[in-house]
Each structure stands twice: as C-alpha cells, then as structure tokens.
Structure 1
Amino acid sequence: MSERQEPQQWHGTTILTVRKAGKVVIAGDGQVSLGPTVIKGSARKVRPLAGGKVIAGFAGATADAFTLFERLEAKLEQYPNQLMRACVELAKDWRTDRYLRRLEAMMLVADSKHSLVLTGTGDVLEPENGIMGIGSGGNYALAAARALADTDYDAETICRKSMAVAAEICVYTNENITVESLDDESAA
C-alpha cells in the first residue's frame, strides 16, 4: 500500500506595518518558496492601491493574494476614501463567498488614517500601537518593531531593521525588502 503524499505548499513571507511620527509604512520580503526550495527571491508583495492612497501587503498563496488585491481595489472604488468600510465589505465577501473562502492569505492595508489586518475568517483588526506583522516571519518582525518603537528611528527604519531580524531567523523570509509609505493624516 502506498502512502498518499501531501502536495508541496508555497511557504511563507513576512509583512510588517509601522505607523509612527506622521508616516505609515508597510514592508515585505521578496522570497517565494515551494517546500524547501526558493522559487523566487524578488517577488513584490507590497504595493500601492487606489491611486496611491492605500498601501497593502500580503502573506500567503500568491494567486490568492492577487485575487484579494483585485477585490480590495474594487471595494475601494465602490467606497472611495473609506478604507475601513471597503475592508469590512471585503471581509464579508471573503468569509461568505464559496470561492473566496478557499483563499489562503492575509493582508495588511493602510491609508493615511488606519492600519488594518484582514483575514479569511472575517477579521478586520486595527493593530495596537500602529505595529503589526503577518506571515511566517511576522512575529519576529513584530517583536523587533515593538522593541524599536520607542527609539528615535522613523517608521521606515524600524521596518527595515525589523525585517532584517526576521530574515535572519525565518528561513521563508529574505532580505530583498519592498517598502511603501504614506503620510499619516492623524499626525497633522
């Protein structure tokens, strides 16, 4: 009798957001892995949406994430300048739609007012202290960012240093970092 083997899964990533002193930043690594093999080292998992008014990063299956980016972009068009509403509507669809329910990804999204975590279980969460990490190296980056939050470093520097820590620890995270940022309206 032959054992049934599970198909290899695409693994990991690290996405981090930091909101500090008038800026919100989302950073992500570029590694895509299939089992123990690095397939690509320069994937772009963080990107601007809504004409640059929103930034987003994803952790999870790449095709699923692109589907979610497209869906979020459509919700942002439907509810312009209302990130929270667009995300809640996406989360409802994600949880109830038969196709979307199968998507395996998480997202960090931010505009000038809000930073949010979106999950397939219907969660739309605003992180404490403006810092959140997702993906296989997310907790490492989150811990490093929290430790650096009270320093004089700006949001981008905190993201870059924290992502470097995650890359040293998590085998599914590399040092090819993409960073997107926006000015934080609440600091004005």
Structure 2
Amino acid sequence: MTQNPSPHDPVGWHGTTILCVRGKGGVAMAGDGQVSLGQTVIKANARKVRRIGPSGGVLAGFAGATADAFTLLERLEAKLERFPGQLERACVELAKDWRTDRYLRRLEAMMAVADAERSFTLTGNGDVLEPSDGVIGIGSGGNYALAAARALIDIPGLSAEDVARRAMAIAAEICVYTNHNVIIETIGEAG
C-alpha cells in the first residue's frame, strides 16, 4: 500500500479498498488484494480483512501502512479481550491510545471494524465514527465502493455480501489501486 504526499492524512491513503456493508440480518466486510509500491503492484492477493477478537466475532479491515495496520489490529484485539462484547468501548480505548501515545501517534493507517450490531471507522485523529446508514468505505477506492454500495443497498433480494461484492467490483473498475481479488468476511446473513 502506498501513501499520498501528505503522510499524516490517512483519508488519502492509496493502495487499498475496504468496504463494510450492514444489511438486513448481517454485515459483510470486503477488501481488495492489491498492494502497491508507487506505481508498481507488489502483490495481488493480500488479506486486508480479518476476523478478530476472542471468538472471531469482529471483522476488521485496514488501509495504510501494513506494519502500522497490524500493530493497530493487535492493539484492538487486546482491547477486545479486556472489554469482551463491547466493540464500541474497545474502539474508543484504542482511539484514545492512538491519539495520545507517542509511538502510536506516528502510525499511518485507518481501520473499519464491525460486529453483529455496530460498525465503526477508526482514525489516528482519535475518531470513532459510526455511519448512519451502516456503510463504510476507506482507502483509495473507498469512496467509489461506498457510493456503489449506497446505490445497491436497497435493491430487494441482495444480501450485505452481494452488495459488498458488486460495489467492490465497481470500485476495482475505477480505482487503479484496487483490484478484483476480493476477500469478504461476513457475520450473520450470507449471500
């Protein structure tokens, strides 16, 4: 994954697309597999979406510097162990640490997390944002996937996974830092 000229602006990260869609009875999180270094594709099948937490009941996706994202995933898992079944509290505690800890403050990544009930975007600015419509898009293709998912979400018969899969395909057609090699994790309803 590569970054834009301003390394302290995680919203502008290039090199990934993460989409979280909350539908009727379920949630799906999708991530493309492309890892870029500048204008070169280094890897096409990276796994940027994972199940975390003591029971694997939390989905997490990341955009940004890979090592930084893994550090944040580990920290979030530790918070989930400390506050089991309390995703919001774990996210808030991580965001506080991320913003105030000298080491963590330098981490350049962004995360989308979800459990069966709620979804959040976490940033290094201390933000823990819950979308009003249940759809999150982060990374360079995040806005494309977000727009596509919002257009598809109310189509009858489409599950959260269906919406995520179709929206990611649209983002991959538009964003050069996003590929069609998509990994999707779900909780609840499946396609």
- With normalisation by structure 2, the TM-score equals 0.90
Unaligned runs of 5+ in 2: 6-12
Aligned to 2:59: 55
Deviations 1:8-64 (A, max 9, x none): xx8420000000110011000010000000000010000000121101000111000
Corresponding position: 1:162 with 2:176: no
Runs of 4+ in 1 over 2 A off after TM superposition: none
Corresponding position: 1:102 with 2:106: yes
What does residue range 112-127 of structure 1 map to in structure 2 within 5 Å? 112-127=116-131
Root mean square deviation of aligned Cα: 1.2
For this pair of structures, how many residues does the alignment match? 176
Please state how far the C-alpha of 1:183 moved relative to its aligned partner: 2.0
Instruction: Provide the C-alpha distance between the structure 1 equivalents of 2:30 and 2:50, rounded to a whole number of angstroms.
Output: 9
Instruction: Provide the C-alpha distance between the structure 2 equivalents of 1:52 and 1:75, rounded to a whole number of angstroms.
Output: 14
> Identical aligned pairs, as a percentage?
71
- With normalisation by structure 1, the TM-score equals 0.91
Aligned to 1:31: 34
Q: Answer whether contact 1:11 1:34 (CA < 8 A) is retained.
A: no
Deviations 1:141-172 (A, max 9, x none): 00000000110211001000000011000000
Corresponding position: 1:22 with 2:10: no
Aligned to 1:71: 75
Please state how far the C-alpha of 1:128 moved relative to its aligned partner: 1.8
Identify which of 22, 40, 43 aligns with 2:43. Answer: 40
Please state how far the C-alpha of 1:116 moved relative to its aligned partner: 0.5
| Aligned amino acid, residue 169 of structure 1 | I
Unaligned runs of 5+ in 1: 1-5
Structure with greater Cα Rg: 1
Instruction: Provide the C-alpha distance between the structure 1 equivalents of 2:43 and 2:68, rounded to a whole number of angstroms.
Output: 17
Q: Answer whether contact 1:11 1:35 (CA < 8 A) is retained.
A: no
